[in-house]
Chain A
Amino acid sequence: MAARFEHDSIISGIGQSAVGRRLGRSATDLTVEAALSAIADAGLTREQIDGLTTYPGGDSFSTHGYGGPSPYAMMEALRLQPKWFSGSGELPGQLGAVVQAMMAVSCGLARHVLVYRTVTETLGQGSGGRGAIYDPDGIAAPTMAGFIATFGAPSAVNWLAMLASRHFHEYGTTREQLGQIPLTGRANAGRNPRAIYRDPLTMDDYLSARMISTPLCLFDCDVPVDGSTAFIVSAADHVASMPSQPVYIEAIGSALTQRFSWDQQADLTAMASTGAAEHMWSRTSLTPADVDIAELYDGFSILALAWIEALGFCKKGEAGAFLQGGRRIALDGELPLNTHGGQLSAGRLHGFGFIHEATVQLRGKAGGRQVPDVKVAAVGTGGGPIAGAMLLTSERV
């Protein structure tokens, strides 16, 4: 296969701040912690950081702790002088910010790019929970959901519940099958000291949990947290001088092949993950059979189910059977899924937690949850109307 821009860069460093519920710390403060950790991990100094990218960029998404600090805030906090910077939420999934960093490296604008994603959603919601941020007489946002939120459907849980209902209807998927995603995440979180919810979750717990929007219950929804995840994307030749084990980017998938919408896509049981996954596989000689672990976005459990189908780990419509009983996706199964607990149990770090976990596993540093001999990790972020996929490897393929 011809040379690809993915091979021009590596992930040279990773860092993560404290992650928790209502930490009482600012987004910038958390990001500084994650960034300094990532810079040190890459064997770099602050002066060597010459690029900066983030999703979604703080100034345009300042509401309710969803947006972290803008690049401007981080340049000021760390007195950085980048040759390239960007903060954007209008990207193919959250990992689009990593792709922006890779592009900056590949075209020679920067050599070491700091990439971060920070959320302070528990801080943002205060003590009122999610209800505190919904005004039934307010005006719906024009993009994404202007024709949906208008009908008492303010949350992605409603929009995805409908897609789940369609998947259940067309393919006979059951709650017991879908529930294997939160159950597996919780079992893995029990081995992850940094996870938020670590107590065992049983199928009875899951089936008897309160409904949020049928067929999705409380445990199908991820847990808002405060926290920051940072990476350093470096030029590939930095490998020779770095202290930690590099992680290689084999391929990315960024294509959007359906309407940008939660209810207008041609196939209501498929999501944007389909286009991103197809695009990713078109850019590598590896196949789904080569994947050792899958870190798939589970902001809502049904998104991870859609990723499993989109990435070809099973046939379209057969994710229910694939998940049945949970053995295949268990830590010792054929496709260990969300090995840190996913966003459902380890916290809603909004996509970046999955990239972080894939990197930790590929380095063999996941402690009690380490999957033996991980060489290839598939990552999917987003998955509703936008999505990005990434194949990471421990060695250059």
Chain B
Amino acid sequence: MQPPPDPVTDWYWQSGADGQLRFLTCGDCGYRTHPAGSVCARCLSGNVTPQPVSGLGTILACTVNVQQWNSGQEPYSIAIIGLDEQDDLRVTTNVIGTDPYAVKIGDRVQVAFLQRHGYYYPLFRTVEDG
């Protein structure tokens, strides 16, 4: 599905144009607020801007969607990823490029953008640890 249009978060879906994943980052306390809002969710500062992260993270939870929401659809992986930069910085996404049934909690992953509908969807691929 396409993301809901929102002037506060539209940049998030364009961030991958240069290959970088960004989160709304507080210039005062450093906290990253996701999904993005008008102010820093921790200190309420308005000094917030999108700043890049490494795009590396760990799978915290995952599922293989088997139900065919559209006929002929193959099973695919949906996962919650914890980003390296902050304990509570998380995204739900798809893990691609591997057997969906092989994806497991604890796997290391890196962002890999998919361009569609005019957006850059932050998907992830598994990577070797280290």
Query: Contacts A162-B79, A263-B80, A263-B90 given: A149-B1 contact, CB under 8 Å?
Result: yes
Q: Which of these binds chain B: A88-96, A115-123, A133-141? A: A133-141
Interface residues of A in 121-151 (CB under 8 A from B): 130-131, 134-142, 146-151
Q: For the complex, count residues of A whose C-beta is within 8 A of B.
A: 43
Contacts of B121 in A (CB 8 A): 150-151
With a CB–CB cut-off of 8 A, which chain A residues contact B130?
none
Q: Mark B47-67, 1 if CB is under 8 A from A, else 0.
A: 000000000000011111111
Residues of chain A contacted by B67 (CB below 8 angstroms): 130-131, 155, 157, 212-213
Known A131-B69, A151-B121, A213-B66: A268·B3 in contact at CB below 8 Å: no
Pair B2/A151 contact, Cβ less than 8 Å: no
Distance between A158 CB and nearest chain B CB, rounded to angstroms = 5
Q: How far is the CA of A153 from the CA of B65 in the complex (A)?
A: 8
Residues B5 and A139 in contact, CB atoms below 8 Å apart: yes
Output the least CB separation between A132 and chain B (Å). 10
A141: B residues at CB distance < 8 A: 4
Q: Of the candidates B3, B63, B70, B94, which one forms a contact with A213 in the assembled complex, judged by CB atoms under 8 Å apart?
A: B63
Q: Cβ of A81: which chain B residues have Cβ within 8 Å of it?
A: none
A214 lies within 8 A of chain B by Cβ: yes
Q: How far is the CA of A216 from the CA of B80 in the complex (A)?
A: 16
Q: Is B19 an interface residue (CB 8 A)?
A: no
Interface flag for A264 (CB, 8 Å): yes
Are B2's CB and A137's CB within 8 A? yes
Contact count band on B: 35 or more
A152 within 8 A of B: yes
Judge whether A362 is part of the interface by a CB distance below 8 angstroms.
no
Complex Cα distance, B56 from A96, in Å, reads: 41
Q: Chain A CB within 10 Å — which of B1, B3, B76, B78 has the most?
A: B1
Complex alpha-carbon distance, A196 and B4, angstroms: 37
Given contacts A131-B69, A214-B66, contact A147 B6 (CB under 8 A): no
Chain A nearest Cβ from B50, distance in angstroms: 15
Which listed residue, A130, A162, A212, touches B61 by the CB 8 Å rule? A162
Contact A214 B63 (CB under 8 A): yes
A245 neighbours in B (Cβ, 8 Å): none
Q: Find chain B residues with CB under 8 A from A211 CB.
A: 64, 66
Contact B66 A212 (CB under 8 A): yes
Contacts of B4 in A (CB 8 A): 139-142, 146
Residue from A137, A164, A210, A213 having most chain B Cβ neighbours under 10 A: A213
Q: Which residues of chain B come closer than 8 Å to A149, judged between CB atoms?
A: 1
Chain B's closest residue to A159 (CB) is B92
Residue of B nearest to A221 (CB): B67
Among candidates B34, B35, B63, B69, residue contacting A162 with C-beta atoms closer than 8 Å: B63
Encoded as 1 (CB less than 8 Å from any A CB) or 0, chain B from 1 to 23 comes to 11111100000000000000000
A212, B64: Cα distance in complex, Å: 8
Q: A264-B88, A264-B90 are in contact. Are A136 and B65 (CB under 8 A)?
A: no
| B91, A268: Cβ atoms closer than 8 Å | no
Q: Mark B88-123, 1 if CB is under 8 A from A, else 0.
A: 101111100000010001000000000001000101
With A137-B1, A138-B1 known to touch, is A268 a contact of B69 (CB < 8 Å)? Answer: no
Name the distance in Å between A347's Cβ and chain B's nearest Cβ: 20
Q: Which of A154, A214, A264 contacts B64 (CB 8 A)?
A: A214
- Contact, CB under 8 Å: B65 / A152: yes
From A134, A146, A147, A152, contact of B78 by CB (8 A) = A152
The CA of A396 and the CA of B79, in the complex, are separated in Å by 47
Complex partner residue of A154 from B1, B60, B94, B123, CB under 8 angstroms: B1
A166 is an interface residue with CB less than 8 A from chain B: yes
Whether a CB of chain B sits under 8 angstroms from the CB of A165 is yes
**Interface presence of A178 (CB below 8 A):** no
**Inside 8 A of A150's CB, which chain B residues have their CB?**
1-3, 121
From residue A318, how far is it (CB to closest CB) to chain B in Å?
A: 20
18 A-B residue pairings within 8 Å (CB atoms):
A130-B69, A137-B2, A139-B2, A142-B6, A147-B34, A149-B1, A154-B1, A158-B63, A161-B63, A162-B63, A164-B63, A166-B61, A210-B66, A216-B63, A262-B92, A263-B61, A263-B90, A268-B61
